[in-house]
Amino acid sequence: MFRIIAISLNILFLVLFVWISIEEGTPIDEGIEFLFLWLLLIATPLFNLCYIFLANSKDNWFSLFLKRKALEEKKKIEELLNKK
């Protein structure tokens, strides 16, 4: 249920933000600070949506990557402890 609400709110925010950007224009002429803020406001819901869809499965690439890194570090620690 919360997943559907989060997806809906992210999509609603993107639609409203794009609509306002079309009506008012992008802040390219306003300066780099406003452009950075505009890009951040676009990127945040996009990354949220990507995370919501990718985090659905337990074996996604990011969780597997983190597990692999953790196992590599654990192996290094065990090797260091065995050398003593």
- Per-domain residue ranges of the chain: 2-83
pLDDT at 36: 83
The token pair at 83 is: 């050398």
More confident residue, 62 or 16: 16
Helices 2-24, 32-54: crossing angle, 10 deg rounding: 150
pLDDT at 58: 65
The token pair at 3 is: 């997943």
What is the radius of gyration, based on Cα positions, of the chain? 21
Q: How far apart are CA 12 and CA 45, in angstroms?
A: 10
Percent of the chain clearing pLDDT 70 (strictly above)? 92
pLDDT at 57: 61
